[in-house]
Amino acid sequence: VTWPLKQASVDVGTLAVTGAKFDSSYDRSAPFQFHLGLGEVIKGWDEGVAKLSLNETARLYIPSHLGYGASGAGSGVIPPNADLIFDVHLLAINGVQISPKVSIKQVVAGDGKTFPLAGDRVTVHYVGSFLNGDKFDSSRDRNSPFSFTLGKKTVIRGWEEGIPQLSIGEVAKMTIPYQLAYGEHGRSGIPPKSDLVFEVELLKIEKGSAV
């Protein structure tokens, strides 16, 4: 069997018990490449990455027997019998690159028929977090919904592309690659090349003129 080449970006690899980071391809600015199913990586990666589709982000929980086992690795960096967590973004298969896009997972259905368009003013509640679950911003914590006009480019591109896919009343998780967020440089409180997750509730749509 010939397996495809998988190119994966490891945002964060952490120890399940302590939460300590031990590896990140983002820190090296170099996506990691390997051949699937040939034993080039730990068994948990061979099994977990095989279940991902192109451009998918996922958290892999890998028990020690599918990781580095009783021996550990890295001269003690990964202790013996350590369970591991990897946040992974699958960038390419067989070397085929993809354009970054927003991934949307519905949490609560909206009306399914009323969607915002460019020029409409929308009001949302949101919680923003990194792939590891750490929260960096929340309109709910402030008890202050956020409003903006679609198409005016006053928000990140991932929002401009993702919000129009939600119907009124919908709650969804939008996973936004860094290219559609704050890019290679980041911003205050957001490191460079950070993929972000926003749980968004579309509260209100005020019809406007086309932008």
Known catalytic residue at 198: yes
Is residue 3 within 8 Å of 79, Cβ to Cβ?
Answer: no
DSSP state of 173: E
Angle ∠(12,18,19) on CA atoms, nearest 5: 20
Given 126, 163, 178, 195, which residue is catalytic? 126
Query: Which of 46, 182, 190, 195 is labelled catalytic?
Result: 182
Quick check: is 137 catalytic?
yes
Phi, psi angle pair for 142, to nearest 5°:
-90, -10
Nearest to 138 by CA among 204, 200, 205: 200
Is 190 a catalytic site residue?
no
Active site annotation includes 141? no
Helix (H, G, I), strand (E, B) or coil at 149: strand
Which residue in 61, 98, 111, 136 is the catalytic one?
A: 136
d(CA 90, CA 67): 19
Which residue among the candidates 42, 85, 104, 156 is catalytic per the annotation? Answer: 156
What is the C-alpha separation between 155 and 151, in angstroms, rounded? Answer: 9
87 is catalytic: no
Q: Which of 115, 137, 146, 168 is catalytic?
A: 137
141: helix, strand or coil: helix
Task: Give the closest residue to 85 by CA, choosing from 37, 28, 133, 52.
Answer: 133
In b/e form, how buried is each residue of 79-98, taking b as 16+ CB within 10 angstroms? eeebebbbbbbbbbbeeeee
Tell me whether residue 156 is one of the annotated catalytic residues.
yes
List the structure tokens of 141. Answer: 């914590």
Catalytic residues: 126, 136-137, 156, 182, 198
